[in-house]
């Protein structure tokens, strides 16, 4: 079946410019969640076809479990029934964020960043850098990027092609961390907008905090993702708020 002229034109432009597409399962999941009237069975089928999405959903549905043996929610269907469709939206949002973070490390720092279970990393104790960006529109929430100041300095140095000792300007370190978040959220926003969940990004905020907890609105959801590359450890929190309409 032929697509609409806009979709065909976009495909042609994406090919010409070399734009990467999000995985089909994620795109489909975002579209289903965006419709809001989709039946849960349809969403379950899409998630179950993708082992990574299924594993992440079960992790979100079992926030206190240290590993799979402690899961009390064991199936995708049960996870969605207990946690609501917002949970599926978090999965759809986390995938492009995670992919963009890994790609940024590979492309700009030549580092292989691996997603790890959050329990495998120590919590960030004491003051650490927190970059946040809000998104508002048909879906609202926040993305937080957390790392130690030493990690932020190593990232700034890597991106700028310098040695960490050469990066002494705190503004430069903050700007690099903020740009890392911008790159991640740009990809993520594109996925949401393409699925019909139009939203705008708010200006990023970068600062130091001692608070490792991320607030969640009643009825909203949070997914914490963790990544490691040698001594570099990064946490990404995604929150999505419930919508009214």
Q: Which residues bind other proteins (CB under 8 A)?
A: 6-7, 9-10, 13-14, 17-20, 100, 103-104, 107-108, 156, 159-161, 171-172, 175-176, 178-179, 182-187, 189-191, 193-194, 201, 203
What's the min distance (Å) between Cβ of 27 and other proteins? Answer: 11
- Is the CB of 78 or the CB of 175 nearer to other proteins? 175
- Sign, CA torsion 30/33/45/102: positive
DSSP secondary structure letters along 42-94: HHHHHHHH-HHHHHHHHHHH-TT-SSGGG-S--SHHHHHHHH-HHHHHHHHHH
What's the min distance (Å) between Cβ of 216 and other proteins? Answer: 26
What's the min distance (Å) between Cβ of 166 and other proteins? Answer: 12
- Is the CB of 186 or the CB of 219 nearer to other proteins? 186
- Is the CB of 61 or the CB of 143 nearer to other proteins? 143
What's the min distance (Å) between Cβ of 137 and other proteins? Answer: 12
What's the min distance (Å) between Cβ of 136 and other proteins? Answer: 14
- CA-based nearest residue to 119, from 181, 59, 208, 198: 59
Q: How far apart are CA 67 and CA 141, in angstroms?
A: 27
Exposed e or buried b per residue across 138-155, where buried means at least 16 C-beta atoms within 10 angstroms of its C-beta: bbbbbbbbbbbeebbbbb
- Is the CB of 59 or the CB of 142 nearer to other proteins? 142
- Is the CB of 104 or the CB of 132 nearer to other proteins? 104
């Amino acid at each position: 079946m032929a697509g609409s002229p806009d979709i065909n034109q976009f495909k042609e432009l994406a090919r010409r410019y070399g734009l990467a597409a999000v995985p089909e399962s994620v795109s489909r999941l975002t579209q289903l969640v965006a419709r809001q009237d989709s039946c849960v069975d349809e969403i379950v089928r899409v998630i179950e076809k993708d082992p990574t999405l299924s594993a992440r959903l079960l992790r979100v549905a079992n926030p206190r479990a240290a590993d799979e043996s402690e899961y009390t929610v064991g199936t995708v269907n049960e996870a969605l029934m207990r946690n609501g469709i917002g949970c599926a939206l978090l999965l759809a949002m986390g995938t492009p964020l995670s992919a963009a973070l890994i790609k940024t490390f590979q492309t700009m720092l030549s580092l292989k960043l691996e997603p790890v279970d959050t329990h495998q990393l120590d919590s960030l104790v004491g003051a650490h850098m927190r970059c946040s960006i809000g998104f508002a529109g048909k879906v609202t929430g926040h993305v937080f990027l957390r790392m130690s100041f030493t990690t932020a300095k190593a990232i700034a140095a890597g991106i700028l092609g310098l040695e960490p000792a050469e990066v002494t300007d705190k503004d430069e370190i903050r700007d690099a961390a903020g740009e890392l978040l911008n790159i991640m959220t740009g990809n993520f926003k594109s996925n949401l907008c393409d699925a019909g969940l139009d939203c705008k990004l708010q200006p990023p905020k970068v600062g130091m905090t001692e608070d490792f907890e991320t607030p969640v609105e009643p009825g909203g959801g949070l997914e914490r993702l963790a990544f490691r590359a040698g001594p570099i450890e990064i946490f990404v929190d995604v929150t999505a708020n419930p919508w009214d309409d």
